[in-house]
Chains A and B, each alone.
Chain A
Amino acid sequence: MPLSRGLHVKGLSKLPVALGQVLDEIPLGVMVLGKDRRVMLVNRALEAMTGFLVQEASGIPCHYLLRGNLCCHGCQIKDVEETRRQFCSEANIINKNRQKIPVRLTISPIFDENGELAAFLESVEDTRSQEAPYDDSAESFLSGKLVGVSQEMRRVFKIIPVIAQTDSSVLITGQTGTGKDAVAEAIHHASGRAKGPFIKINCGALPEALLESELFGHQKGAFTGAVENKPGRFRLAHNGTVYLTEIGDLPLSLQVKLLSFLDDKVVYPLGSTKGYSVDVRVIAATHRNLERMVREGSFREDLLFRLNVIRLHLPPLVHRHEDMKMLKAHFLQTYNSRFSKNIAGFSEAAGQVLLSYPFPGNVRELRNIVEYAVNVCDGNQIRPDHLPAYIVEHVPNDHVNDLTENGSSQVQSTIRSDPGEIRWADAERKMIMDTMLKCQGRKHDAAKILGYCRSTLWRKMKKYGMID
């Protein structure tokens, strides 16, 4: 039996009250450690923050639960033990989802009736909302993880604090890589729930049976392998925000259950008849066209109505020309400092190549391209030959030949001229075709230029019907 189950508070009522139940109501991560610095109890807020349930954490040394920067260099518990006084410090932790979270740690000694040290109480406050205060100015160009000066992005920056003030469901739409996750996080941090947990669930990442247990939890014995009660993400997000990404991939059976939850805000774990009332805000996002999915019968119309209370559409990068320069400079600065490089900027020719590229992967793809270029660049300026081959190959050959370092050529991509029609599959097919033509049909050479192995090129060519 986990030690945590035996911890009770006496004197509050006729019968002892479970300490875990008391700590669960505190909207701050709290854990109780024994004198040997092993975890005795973890509250619900800390479970949500670290991703470890109390059953998993019970009995292990605290540094394996918290995984903080102070755990490796300068554990503060020693000082607390010696001075017998409370200790507070700024730190950061890495949770089970591999996310680094800035926190404020407070460690207090707990003494027994004889004044002997009995245990430690450690509180962990998520300070993300305080570290990146949301700038609600309409002129803002950098907000948390969002960067932009274009009219479209200014509109987004302006509306986020307004959305944050309400508690209604939000549906964020936009192509992949446009920053849906960043916007969801920004809404959470600007809202009154900022101190509560922000739980992200990818509806497309897990099979149906696992997803149901992950979202709503399960009762011990509900199915083979359910050896413990599991609270589920909705219960862990109590007083916070649940962010359902790829909502378009949610199976129909779970759409019904989510619908019922959105109606009465009560969670029924798998195999349990008892419901748990939770207070969470739901933000959903998808790159799919939900209206079309409703017409096709793969998405419930009533769920769409419930999620679509506030809708926020993020523009693709091709519609944000003004942001391109700033995004390039932002990512260049980021990777310069990360890889200890001193690259001044992009040559005019490299800038033209980037401008002519349609960026089907949007800002994420631009970030990856800049990361690649910073890694490859050996001088102080990024030139076209430092960019991934598929981007340069994408530019029509006659324009590539015309490109000079003074960038006199104005590269105009045929794809760019009609951004509404862009599909990655079309772009990739064209890229392969152009490379094959350039290599006069030699697959080995084409694969080398494209950065694929020969079998990948063969597979892609087969997929696009370029070979029998």
Chain B
Amino acid sequence: MKKVHRKSPVKDVNESPANSTRVLIPLLGDDIAPRFDLAPEAVIASVDPKRRVTVEKSIVLSHASAEALCRLIMTEKIDMVVCCAIEEEYYQYLVWKKVKVVDSVMGPYSKVLERLENGTIADGEVLLDRKE
């Protein structure tokens, strides 16, 4: 796994305060990856008690797999995962490990950060413009 610098809509920091919520978002480009298990990248953000969101780091996953991502979530002490499609067994595993999983979320990750700031992120959110 390689840490890379990602241009973020909010300021980057190296460490999150102890009482903040750490959020992991699996990415494909600048959007949430359609699949948790096949995400080539992930971004870790932290939300402090005043709902200020800061992007801590982006991680390039050398080998995309749900197991590798779950291991990363555990080692990084992540509190919340915002993703699109995730298999039931990994969902249950993360829930069992007391990680909040918000799934079926679609759209660019910058919109997810905005929703985290507002505290309104929810399952099944479509955060992109539909073309009707």
A interface residues (Cβ-Cβ under 8 A, vs B): 1-3, 34, 36, 38, 56, 58-61, 63-64, 66-69, 71-73, 93-100, 338-339
Supposing A59-B131, A60-B106, A64-B106 touch, asked if A72 and B87 sit within 8 A by C-beta, the answer is no
> Do B38 and A1 touch across chains, with their CB atoms under 8 A apart?
no
The B interface is mostly helix, strand or loop, or mixed, namely: loop
Within 8 Å by CB of A96, from B39, B104, B128, lies: B104
Supposing A64-B84, A67-B35 touch, asked if A1 and B132 sit within 8 A by C-beta, the answer is yes
> Do B35 and A59 touch across chains, with their CB atoms under 8 A apart?
no
Supposing A72-B28, A94-B87 touch, asked if A64 and B34 sit within 8 A by C-beta, the answer is yes
Q: Which residue of A lies closest to B126 (CB)?
A: A60
Q: Give the CA-CA distance A68 to B33 in the complex, in Å.
A: 11
> Do A69 and B131 touch across chains, with their CB atoms under 8 A apart?
no
Top 6 nearest A-B pairs (CB, nearest first) are A59-B130, A67-B85, A94-B85, A72-B38, A98-B88, A64-B106
> Do B91 and A98 touch across chains, with their CB atoms under 8 A apart?
yes
> Do B131 and A38 touch across chains, with their CB atoms under 8 A apart?
yes
> Do B34 and A67 touch across chains, with their CB atoms under 8 A apart?
yes
A99: chain B residues at CB < 8 Å are 87-88
Q: Within B103-129, which residues are at the interface with A (CB < 8 Å)?
A: 103-104, 106, 124, 126, 128
Q: How far is the CB of A201 from chain B (nearest CB, A)?
A: 16
B64 within 8 A of A: yes
Could you pull out 19 A-B pairs where Cβ atoms are within 8 angstroms? A2-B132, A3-B131, A38-B131, A56-B126, A58-B132, A60-B130, A64-B34, A64-B84, A64-B128, A66-B34, A67-B84, A67-B85, A69-B35, A72-B28, A72-B34, A72-B64, A94-B87, A96-B104, A100-B87
Q: Report B90-103 CB contacts with A as 1/0, cut-off 8 Å.
A: 01000000000001
Within 8 Å by CB of A72, from B33, B91, B128, lies: B33
A93: chain B residues at CB < 8 Å are 85
Q: Give the CA-CA distance A97 to B91 in the complex, in Å.
A: 11
> Do A58 and B130 touch across chains, with their CB atoms under 8 A apart?
yes
Q: Report B60-86 CB contacts with A as 1/0, cut-off 8 Å.
A: 000010010000000000000000111
Residue from A36, A71, A95 whose CB has the most chain B CB atoms within 10 Å:
A71
4 A-B pairs besides A59-B131, A68-B35, A72-B35 with CB distance below 8 A are A60-B130, A61-B106, A63-B34, A72-B28
Within 8 Å by CB of B40, from A56, A61, A72, A96, lies: A72
Q: Give the CA-CA distance A353 to B22 in the complex, in Å.
A: 40
Q: How far is the CB of A320 from chain B (nearest CB, A)?
A: 24
Q: Give the CA-CA distance A59 to B107 in the complex, in Å.
A: 13
Q: How far is the CB of A334 from chain B (nearest CB, A)?
A: 11
Supposing A71-B34, A338-B67 touch, asked if A98 and B85 sit within 8 A by C-beta, the answer is yes
Q: Give the CA-CA distance A73 to B40 in the complex, in Å.
A: 9
B85: chain A residues at CB < 8 Å are 67, 93-95, 98
Q: Give the CA-CA distance A36 to B130 in the complex, in Å.
A: 12
Q: Give the CA-CA distance A2 to B131 in the complex, in Å.
A: 9
> Do B86 and A94 touch across chains, with their CB atoms under 8 A apart?
yes
Q: Within B1-49, which residues are at the interface with A (CB < 8 Å)?
A: 28, 33-35, 38-40
> Do A73 and B38 touch across chains, with their CB atoms under 8 A apart?
yes
A67: chain B residues at CB < 8 Å are 34-35, 84-85
Q: Which residue of A lies closest to B88 (CB)?
A: A98
Q: Give the CA-CA distance A73 to B103 in the complex, in Å.
A: 20
Q: Give the CA-CA distance A266 to B45 in the complex, in Å.
A: 50
A34: chain B residues at CB < 8 Å are 131
Q: Which residue of A lies closest to B40 (CB)?
A: A72
Residue from B33, B34, B38, B104 whose CB has the most chain A CB atoms within 10 Å:
B34
> Do A72 and B39 touch across chains, with their CB atoms under 8 A apart?
yes
Q: How far is the CB of B41 from chain A (nearest CB, A)?
A: 11
A63: chain B residues at CB < 8 Å are 34
Q: How far is the CB of B109 from chain A (nearest CB, A)?
A: 14
Q: Which residue of A lies closest to B107 (CB)?
A: A64
Q: Which residue of A lies closest to B129 (CB)?
A: A59
B39: chain A residues at CB < 8 Å are 72
Q: Give the CA-CA distance A100 to B84 in the complex, in Å.
A: 13
Q: Give the CA-CA distance A96 to B132 in the complex, in Å.
A: 22
